[in-house]
Structure 1
Amino acid sequence: MSDAPIVLGLNRTQDASACLMRGAQLLWAIQKERLTRRKHHWGALGDVRDFYRPRLPWPERPVDILVECYSSDAELARLPQHERELAEAALLAPAWRRARLSHHLAHAYSAFPPSPFQEAAVMIVDGQGSPVAELTERWDGAAAAPRDWREVSSFYRADRERIDCVGKQLWDRDDARLVGLGMFYFLLTQAIFPGEGNEGKVMGLAPHGRAGALGMPALGVDGASVTIPARWRPLAQERARFRYAA
């Protein structure tokens, strides 16, 4: 029997998923939506008990390392309940270890390691990720930032040995002043498509559009920071005007 560690990865929140590895060997990886048949199904207490444990193949050995990712929602506050669920499922080895990844760092690890590149610059563009207080990577700007501000874009230098954060744009959580390219796509998506998780459709349609069709100002770009001119906010709220298949 291989003595390579059994590693369980759990994305606890948006587009919930699980992955099991034996050392560098992938045993399985699946999104929760494939088990529940509900697109973009969020993570919740009971996922391990109700979906992953009974419906997926597990090795005889328990899990040695647990890798978790949370987003900007309140699920992290339920950490004790999640730990009890894992204990009740008898999944963890007595001396198990944990690694927790903040949201954008998890995006970076999902993008670079499977790529064919030996080194790369990695840019993560998101609606919003983890609060500064929950960042798990080293970033020089974190010490001076308010703990409740959230990452909206992150920039990394990556090679096959490490992934280092070189910059971030943060949002102060002021709903009257939204920032970031990811949040801009979120606003447009909500105007066009109902529900959640449709930003990819807007990105796919973007090359077919005309940039000046509505006479709106361009986004503000200053280095790594993107701001959204105030005129876009009321326009994005005209959902009856833009709603697809309304």
Structure 2
Amino acid sequence: MPLRFFIKQWLMPPGVLLLMLLAAWWLRKSWPRTARLFFIGGLGGLWLMSLPVVMQHLAGRIETVPPLAMNEWAGLAGRADAIVVLGSGRERGDPAWGGQDQPTGVALERMRYATQLAKASGLPLLTTGGLHYGAPPSEARLMADSLQRDFGVPVRWLEEESRTTWENAELSAAILLPQGVKRVVVVTQAWHMQRSVWSFQRAGFEVVGAPVGFMGIDSGRPFGGWVPDSKAVWQNGQLFNEVVGLIGYRLFY
């Protein structure tokens, strides 16, 4: 897992863009024209990744599953049998919590939304997510504990072995389908929802998408989003990763 993660980080932006800049420096004397192209591509790519307007445009193309209207929440009981909350990593050893691992901010956003859907509809919850670099507890366990402790919502099922969105779906199916749970509400980020719905449908579920955390909306950033922003670098990185995932899933699954 660490080796695969390391390779992936250098093949995806911004890692690959930094490699282009390194190649430009290395080739500056022997291949000056090639070095110039690498420099323009690397620096230009980093500049584009830093622009909120690029992030907003790309997110708008990926976030194709519409949000649930608030007046639909109570009616979910007639459309689904359970709510599935997808994991999103962890914060390691937070001193504020006695050195215990905690769900990430993205995971908390999903959990908060799932809490409201569960309270409005009465549907039971499943959390899904395995170990992070092999270290317990699982992401599913971290979320289940937080949902009970912080939001007062119990989790009925935990899927604690998955490492990818595809495995989220396949291993959740192994738990839910034998119990007659064939219709699920999937809670994840709006930019991650298209791939998640596709995966859960392939696993045998009827899926109601419940996206949260939309990026493709007017964020109100200064100068129309044309000023570089450090947050946009992370957001664009997530979106580029999702584009690759969408393509890869359709090719390999």
TM-score normalised by the chain length of structure 1: 0.26
Higher relative contact order (CA 8 A, sep 6+): 2
More strand by share: 1
Normalized per residue, the structure richer in helix is 2
TM-score between the two structures when normalised by the length of structure 2? 0.26
